[in-house]
Amino acid sequence: MDIKLSPSKLKGMITAQPSKSDAHRKLICAAFANGISTIDNVFLSDDIKATLRCISSAGASYDIRRSSFYTGRACIKVLGTNGRCIEERNADCGESGSTLRFMSMIFSVAGGRTELTGHGRLPIRPMDGAIDLFKRNNICHAYPGDGKFLPLVINGEINSGEHEIDSSVTSQYLSGLLMGLPAFSKQGKIFATGQFESKGYVDVTIEVLREFGVIIKGVNPYIIPVNSGFDAIKTSVQGDWSNASYFHVMKALGADIEIIGLKNDSKQPDAAILKNVKIVMETDSPVIDVSECPDIMPSLSVIGAALNKTLKITGGRRLRAKESDRLSSVAAGLAGLGVDVVELNDGIEIYGNGVIKGGEIDACSDHRIAMAFASLCVVSKGDIIIKGADSVSKSYPLFFDDLKKLGGIIA
């Protein structure tokens, strides 16, 4: 689907989208808890649906109802398995990297046979950290090769003990083990190896585990307690700083909007959007390192493009293995709007001249590219056409509806 955004004056209040990161983790922990957990304020994006399919394949059941407290959101009751898992399962992870990485770890701890599948770019997103762990634990595994990791079949079991996991590409395998070992009452120590980035997302995992009654001690190694297991709980999903970043961009560029529903002391790494927007707006030649918050790189890039200054973004090497190669996608999109830009090995340098003329950009089937460039409707002198705008369904299906409510002119 292609859309056209005309220059728009935005005004109003926006409630932050529920956090995908928080929801994934809470649904997974609930799936293996002892009893019925209630998780409110869930938005049923494509990625969250993928996690629901996977926990169902493990033997958990769930009931989705309309939230009575959060307008337009779901409340999900999950009947946990009390630390058990169906012996053979087929897990369709859709296009969700989080689902794939979490569930590959959890199913490997559960034991038995698992076939993991996925769509879009997911089969070619790196899984070396998981494969290395499987080899060290003598877990049988098979995948197509030729640059593809899916479908991935694993057969075997990770037991209690000490485990090392490469966290240089993603911390999601580490988070998966942190959830997987206590889910099946296994103890141990987990060491993150490599250039450990996105530690903030591990902190999000530890915070969720604490809600479900599991206290992780230590930091690298992370120590899993003996005979843990998950308690069933009632909880709500936090507001999402990642998807709120686009509205913070609009606000910084002159939109008269208020963003509510965010936890100011959240462990979510993308809460750094506030600090980084301030740096970009108030520094002559800002340099931003996004190694701990890569998902807000597109948001920061479009701010830089709209200002009369040079913005350099570094620490983004992992962005090449997202739903698109985000460094290339952002660079191409900015060039399409008449902005001078240089793509770096691990980042991007943007030479803004204070003018966004309008033009056409390709979202490259990437939700974050579509939403970031849509933010420029606040300052663009002409129409912005976004090709593949329906990619927002991956995390925020109602993004353009919410934009219209603020006064966005969309055709």
Distances (CA, A) of 54 to 5, 60, 117, 175: 37, 9, 10, 16
146 catalytic residue (yes or no) = no
CA distance linking residue 167 with residue 130, whole number of Å: 10
| Strand extents, DSSP E, 290-388 | 310-314, 340-343, 348-351, 359-362, 384-387
User: If we measure between CA atoms, which residue out of 263, 274, 187 comes closest to residue 225?
Assistant: 187
Candidates 295, 362, 366, 402; catalytic one = 295
**CB-count burial class (<10 Å; 0-12, 13-18, 19+) for 315:** middle
Q: Tokens for 211, please give them.
A: 């809600």
User: If we measure between CA atoms, which residue out of 326, 83, 262, 317 comes closest to residue 183?
Assistant: 83
Contact 62, 76 (CB under 8 A): yes
Query: What is the residue whose two structure tokens read 């994006």?
Result: 45
**Which amino acid is it at 387?**
K
Q: Tokens for 62, please give them.
A: 């769930």
Active site residues: 295
